[in-house]
Amino acid sequence: MRTTGLPAGSAARVIADVKAYFDESVEDYVRRRHRELQARGLTNDPIFERVLAELRDRPVAAPELTARQLRRMVYG
């Protein structure tokens, strides 16, 4: 609150959102991003390329995965 000037309630929500983002497992992240990108009209190949790039750029990088591994996370 001191460094941002946010009211207590807003600061608590921001902290909860950030914590939830970092608590999300790789599998949950892949499934969520697949749904989001599919809803935008993208097909699997561009989705998996984008998700792989996003996973590499996360603050805590996921293990190196293949498109096939992503597909198995999404479709089982």
Burial class (CB in 10 A: 0-12, 13-18, 19+), 47: buried
Q: Considering the domain boundaries, does residue 50 fall inside one?
A: yes
Going from the first residue of the chain to its last (76 residues), give the mean pLDDT of each consecutive group of 10, the final group possibly shorter.
87 89 88 97 97 87 90 95
Total domains in the chain come to: 1
pLDDT of residue 22: 80
Task: Note down the domain range covering 41.
Answer: 24-75
Which position has the token pair 């749904």?
A: 35
Q: Considering the domain boundaries, does residue 12 fall inside one?
A: no
Contact 34, 45 (CB under 8 A): no
pLDDT of residue 59: 75
pLDDT of residue 13: 93
Cα 69 from Cα 75, distance rounded (Å): 10
Q: Considering the domain boundaries, does residue 3 fall inside one?
A: no
Global model pTM greater than 0.85:
no
